[in-house]
Amino acid sequence: MFENLLTNQDSWLNGKGPSSEIVFSSRVRLARNFADKVFPSRAATSVKEDIRNTMEEIYSRVSALRGSTFVRMEDLEELSRQFLLERHLISQEHMASPKGKGLIVSADERIALMINEEDHLRMQVITSGFDLAACWQVLDGIDTELSGMVNFSFLPDLGYLTSCPTNVGTALRASCMLHIPALVLTKRINKILELLVKISFTARGLFGEGTQALGDFFQISNQGSLGLSEGELIDNLSGVVNQVKEQEIDARDNLLKKYKFSLEDNVWRAFGVLKNCRLIGSKEALSHLSMLSLGLDLGIIKGIKREVINSLFIIIQPAHLQRIEGKLLKEEERDYIRASILRERLVFED
């Protein structure tokens, strides 16, 4: 499977979705549990293997999952698991303790099903740009088809039962990854984050829960799913994301009006460093890529392909670098390879 992952041009990183100059990606996930099995945290290995075997048997009968890849997590080396984490296909928890866990990934990486993570099934659909409805449509289809094959744990009054009570109900979480450098530069981000928490939305960094907001990326998602329908949850999140997006557009306009030269300077310096450095860490690279991306959005810099920058956000991560080189690398070696890749891929095209 890995051979395809790095070269796939139609993945959610292509930067071609709606509003993708600010909304990097949209993602919807559902948690599902088998009615007759205990939750993964309490289940014996044999129970988890049963569930995984069932999924291996049936997944290719789900239309959206045809041609997908099935993986037993413990069959993968740590580096490969980290690689999947960096590609947003599995969670930290799924990476850290692989025993009895599984993964199903569609060829275009838009669909990923984690087996025996916190719940028996965590199914996600991710897409480029701001398009939660498209994600939900695909995911709803998968859920419907799977429901015809297995018996999911569901109570009429509560909805779907999940390992963590916050997910009970629709068991749906929707999120958008926003690239909002102008809100960070103008420091308006802090007020926005405070407000989001007050109205029950969560903001996280590029790599999920507990991670830093690297490269000016913030993932905004709904908190809890009880008492609202799937459509309402998605509409609510869309509304909030739309407001943050408008704020970012306003902040960009302001920056362009008041700090044009300084902004151009920041963008071109970021390009200058990325295009010339010989050693660079991933945090610094993310920060410059963020600035370069903003420059592209604002027309300050032209001719670099958005999908190149988007894929670099992912490719410069440690496990990706090591897969590209085909061997384990020390930190300084990674910094060296990262710099080489950045110099090589950041080119002006017609």
Residues that bind its own copies in the complex, under the rule CB under 8 A: 261-262, 264-265, 268-269, 271-280, 332, 336, 339
- Least distance (Å) between residue 261 CB and its own copies: 6
> Any idea which residue has 């110099």 for tokens?
343
- Least distance (Å) between residue 280 CB and its own copies: 8
Contact 154, 35 (CB under 8 A): yes
Contact 290, 310 (CB under 8 A): no
- Least distance (Å) between residue 248 CB and its own copies: 22
- Least distance (Å) between residue 188 CB and its own copies: 23
Contact 350, 303 (CB under 8 A): yes
> Any idea which residue has 């850290």 for tokens?
96
Contact 25, 126 (CB under 8 A): yes
| CB nearer its own copies, residue 161 or residue 267 | 267
The single-letter code of the amino acid at 52 is: R
> Any idea which residue has 């990262």 for tokens?
338
> Any idea which residue has 């690398």 for tokens?
329
| CB nearer its own copies, residue 61 or residue 269 | 269
CA separation for the pair 91, 192 (Å, rounded) = 26
| CB nearer its own copies, residue 22 or residue 300 | 300
| CB nearer its own copies, residue 7 or residue 261 | 261
User: 299: buried, middle or exposed (CB in 10 Å: 19+, 13-18, 0-12)?
Assistant: exposed
| CB nearer its own copies, residue 277 or residue 312 | 277
* Intra-chain end-to-end CA distance of the chain, in Å: 32
- Least distance (Å) between residue 183 CB and its own copies: 22
| CB nearer its own copies, residue 99 or residue 269 | 269
Q: What is the DSSP letter of 147?
A: H
| CB nearer its own copies, residue 160 or residue 271 | 271
| CB nearer its own copies, residue 76 or residue 301 | 301
- Least distance (Å) between residue 214 CB and its own copies: 20
CA separation for the pair 222, 218 (Å, rounded) = 13
- Least distance (Å) between residue 285 CB and its own copies: 13
Q: Which two tokens stand for residue 19?
A: 């509003």
Sign of the C-alpha dihedral computed for residues 86, 297, 184 and 292 taken in this order: positive
The separation between CA 327 and the C-alpha centre of its own chain, rounded to angstroms, equals 25
- Least distance (Å) between residue 315 CB and its own copies: 20
The single-letter code of the amino acid at 216 is: D
| CB nearer its own copies, residue 192 or residue 280 | 280
- Least distance (Å) between residue 268 CB and its own copies: 4
Contact 49, 97 (CB under 8 A): no
> Any idea which residue has 């709606």 for tokens?
18
